[in-house]
């Protein structure tokens, strides 16, 4: 069998942890009850679902009643953003269900994931919601002062990601939460990339809504969760059987929820065992090796310290990232966002940070994970540097 490439693309997706798979399998085989059924099959499925909910809640410092399972991170983002704005549009007396009065207002920022940007665009296009897109600085950070200045009496929601998927840059969420609380505005954060990599506590951050994504933390694709602070009103995107506290109709995917619950346990254990520091060591080793092998040609994108421990986004002068990656089949990494892989267009995240098109096209996104080794880092750095030197 040919050897598989060294995987340095954990922000795109992670492998399923074998312990997650083991926890899930009974719910794909013998334990197939519908958690809404009142007989023994349903009771067992319901118990497993609620146990998983409690585990996900424990990972982020929430109450189990504040966790809603969804089918993807994109769906959790849409439920938070559209759900909060539509709840305001239909029940807040300021808007009184008519667009002839003040329009509800939502604030976001330029480096959000397309799932967030699309949810905001949908509100603007279909529901007359006013959307403000705030800029970021050269490291990709949003200024809490800009958030404060953008809030109007009609603002219902601010949505700002915790960590960026391409650069790993962390936003100053606590400071932004202080602003939104003082002004009575809800704060949603897409924490798809930070949960499991750094400690995330919803109360400490002060957020009202938070997105967790399974396939970024060693659970399968197709399962995610939204934290909805007790007392926050959302309008569901899908109605029907009243599952998930009435916020997401559809018979729950018990096996995948159990997988996310087990992944949450493992994340708690690995954070307690110092995983963030181990990831940061590997990330920094990779950068140091590249700088040694390509003197003067390697430049960091994103914030040097306020950054995910596993993420390295670098420009290598003189070579387009897609050309470079094609020349290094032994390494699996991304140029710009994996969601747009294959298209040689500059990343909107990097251009929002002020990079020119040529510079942005040289950006390489490398992200380490649970099973990455120092040997893999050294081999990958050598392979990348060799190809860059020959380019």
Ligand X SMILES: Cc1ncc(COP(=O)(O)O)c(C=O)c1O
Site string for ligand X, 300-339 (x = CB under 6 A): ---------------------------------------x
Q: Which of 74, 155, 167, 313 binds ligand X (CB under 6 A)?
A: 74
* Residue 142 or 319 having the CB closest to ligand X: 142
120 is catalytic: no
Q: Of 224, 225, 260, 322, which lies in the binding site for ligand X, with binding defined by CB under 6 A?
A: 224
CB of 154 to ligand X, least distance (A): 26
72 near ligand X (CB under 6 A): yes
Distance, in Å, from the CA atom of 299 to the CA atom of 201, rounded to the nearest integer, reads 32
In the complex, the smallest distance separating the C-beta of residue 345 from ligand X, rounded to whole angstroms, is: 17
Segment near ligand X (CB under 6 A); pick from 33-41, 188-196, 237-245, 344-352: 188-196
Q: How far is the CB of 215 from ligand X (least distance, A)?
A: 6
Sign (positive/negative) of CA torsion 211, 217, 221, 222? negative
- Residue nearest ligand X, Cβ-based: 73
Cα–Cα dist 361/334, whole Å: 11
Please report whether residue 24 would count as binding ligand X according to CB under 6 A: no
Q: What's the rounded Cα separation, in Å, for the pair 128 and 210?
A: 24
- Give the whole-angstrom CA distance, residue 130 versus residue 378: 49
Nearest CB to ligand X, comparing residues 220 and 346:
220
Which of 43, 269, 277, 339 is labelled catalytic?
A: 339
Are 313 and 302 a contacting pair, CB within 8 Å? yes
Binding track, positions 138-177, relative to ligand X; x by CB under 6 A: -----------------------x---x------------
Residue 49 CB, nearest approach to ligand X (Å): 19
Q: How far is CA 20 from CA 89, 206, 255, in A?
A: 40, 30, 10
The smaller minimum CB distance to ligand X, of residues 46 and 113, is found at 113
- The 10 Å CB-count burial string (b at 16+, else e) for 17-41 is beebbebbeebeeebebbbeeeeee
CA-nearest of 186, 192, 182, 141 to 159 is 186
Max CA distance (Å), the chain? 68
The Cα-based distances of 21 to 27, 122, 292, 294 in angstroms read 10, 36, 40, 41
Q: Does residue 264 interact with ligand X by CB under 6 A?
A: no
79 binds ligand X (CB under 6 A): no
What one-character-per-residue DSSP string does 121-184 give? Answer: HHHHHHH--EEEEE---TTSPPPHHHHHHH--TTEEEEE--SB-TTT-BBP-HHHHHHHHHHTT
Q: Does 188 bind ligand X (CB under 6 A)?
A: no
With respect to ligand X, which residue has the nearer C-beta, 115 or 123?
A: 115
**Could you give the residue numbers annotated as active site?**
339
Footprint of ligand X on this chain (CB under 6 A)? 72-74, 77, 113, 115, 161, 165, 190, 192-193, 213, 215, 224, 339
């Amino acid at each position: 069998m040919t050897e598989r490439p060294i995987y340095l693309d954990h922000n795109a997706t992670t492998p399923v942890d074998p312990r997650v798979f083991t926890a899930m399998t009974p719910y794909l085989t013998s334990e197939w009850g519908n958690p809404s059924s009142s007989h023994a099959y349903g009771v067992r499925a319901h118990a497993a679902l609620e146990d998983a909910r409690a585990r996900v809640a424990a990972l982020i410092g929430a109450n189990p009643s504040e966790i809603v399972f969804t089918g993807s991170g994109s769906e959790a983002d849409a439920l938070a953003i559209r759900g909060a704005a539509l709840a305001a549009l239909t029940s807040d007396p300021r808007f009184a269900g008519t667009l002839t009065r003040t329009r509800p207002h939502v604030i976001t920022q330029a480096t959000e994931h397309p799932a967030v940007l699309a949810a905001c665009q949908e509100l603007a296009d279909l529901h007359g919601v006013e959307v403000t897109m705030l800029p970021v600085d050269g490291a990709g950070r949003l200024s809490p002062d800009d958030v404060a200045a953008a809030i109007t009496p009609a603002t219902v929601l601010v949505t700002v990601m915790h960590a960026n998927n391409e650069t790993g840059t962390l936003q100053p969420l606590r400071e932004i939460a202080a602003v939104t609380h003082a002004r009575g505005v809800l704060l949603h954060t897409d924490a798809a990339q930070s949960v499991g990599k750094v400690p995330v506590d919803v109360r400490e951050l002060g957020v009202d809504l938070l997105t967790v994504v399974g396939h970024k933390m060693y659970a399968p694709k197709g399962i995610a969760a939204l934290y909805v602070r007790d007392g926050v009103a959302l309008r569901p995107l899908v109605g029907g059987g009243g599952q998930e506290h009435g916020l997401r109709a559809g018979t729950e995917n018990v096996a995948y929820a159990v997988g996310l619950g087990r992944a949450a346990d493992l994340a708690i254990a690995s954070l307690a065992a110092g995983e963030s520091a181990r990831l940061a060591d590997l990330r920094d080793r990779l950068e140091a090796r590249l700088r040694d092998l390509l003197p003067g040609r390697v430049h960091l994108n994103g914030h040097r310290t306020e950054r995910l421990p596993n993420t390295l986004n670098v420009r290598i002068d003189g070579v387009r990232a897609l050309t470079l990656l094609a020349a290094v089949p032994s390494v699996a990494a991304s140029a710009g966002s994996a969601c747009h892989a294959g298209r040689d267009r500059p990343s909107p995240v990097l251009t929002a940070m002020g990079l020119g098109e040529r510079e942005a096209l040289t950006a390489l996104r490398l992200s380490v994970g649970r099973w990455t080794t120092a040997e893999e880092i050294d081999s990958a750095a050598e392979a990348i540097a060799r190809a860059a030197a020959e380019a």
